[in-house]
Amino acid sequence: MKIAVFGAAGWAGRGVIDLLPDRYQVRAIDLNREAWNEWADIDGKWDRGEIVDADIQDYAATERAISGMDAVIHLTVCFPPNEESEFVKDPNPFLVNLKGLWNVIHASQKHGIKRIVHLGSSPVVHRDGAFFSANVRRPGFDLYATTKRLQEEMCRHAHEGLGLNIIVLRTEYIVDSRLGIGRYREKLGTEAGCPATPGWVCRHDLAEACRLAVEADSPAFDVLHITGSKEADKTCNSAHARTVLGLEYAGNLDQYR
């Protein structure tokens, strides 16, 4: 199988593209070669497959990146600025998160992609106490939460309207249990002031979830919470996710409690 990975140079992406080449032919896609510098000091140089530069906002570039592939893992994300005065002027969260996914979906349809795996985002505990099934949307109206919720709706609509096979993996916070650091390079653990929460998932376990989702013949569509803590089974569909994917978590998050 030939798999295109968008956002391959990112925190989650490096975990995915380090796992997949053991079984598949991988095309690692990101904006440009400079994007690979962010995690080079930790993950080193990646040379286990094809690297393609593509701006996901550009449909033609996205289509070229997908051409010849069998499946897509979509991890690209733009995090909005923290200051409202800045993000109201910045179109990139909308263009990358929404138009970018739109481009991936339509290019995938054109090229007969068999499976799309999209990395969504959601807390594992709903603020209003609802159980997070696939049909319960994430709350909140900040810019990041809104674009991630709209991405999920776009995936749902693409399945219903175009018949595409799509699995959305919801994550809350991605860490590296092997290195003991989080997405922002902070040290993990109680002594470091960053104890584990039920929403954590090790990026290597997330990579395995992506692999299993790509391989799955069914379901044709689902939205699954991916978290390394079984505590989350009480509040979200993480147990269902393990069953559907056959996912077994290897990351030791208990060491950071």
The predicted-structure confidence for 150-171, as pLDDT tens digits, reads as follows 999 999 999 999 999 999 999 9
Can you give the residue range of the structural domain that contains 69? 2-256
Please tell me the predicted confidence (pLDDT) of residue 90: 83
Domain at 131, CATH number? 3.40.50.720
The single-letter DSSP state of residue 180 is T
The single-letter DSSP state of residue 190 is T
Please tell me the predicted confidence (pLDDT) of residue 80: 85
Cα–Cα nearest to 166, from 134, 141, 130: 134
- Mean of pLDDT values over 231-254: 98
Longest CA–CA separation in the chain, Å: 51
Give the mean pLDDT of the chain. 96
Q: Is the pLDDT of residue 235 over 70?
A: yes
**Partners of 167 in the β-ladder:** 117, 222
Please tell me the predicted confidence (pLDDT) of residue 82: 72
Please tell me the predicted confidence (pLDDT) of residue 89: 73
pLDDT tens, position by position, 194-227: 999 999 999 999 999 999 999 999 999 999 999 9
Please tell me the predicted confidence (pLDDT) of residue 88: 65
pLDDT tens, position by position, 31-86: 999 999 999 999 999 999 999 999 999 999 999 999 999 999 999 999 987 765 55
Cα–Cα nearest to 156, from 118, 121, 129: 118
pLDDT tens, position by position, 176-188: 999 999 999 999 9
The two tokens of residue 168 are 């959305």
Residue 20 phi, psi (nearest 5): -65, -35
- Mean of pLDDT values over 224-240: 97
Spatial contact of 249 and 205, defined as CB atoms under 8 Å apart: yes
The single-letter DSSP state of residue 233 is G
pLDDT tens, position by position, 83-138: 655 556 788 999 999 999 999 999 999 999 999 999 999 999 999 999 999 999 99
Domain tally, the chain? 1
Whole-model pTM: value is 0.96
3-state secondary structure of 225: strand
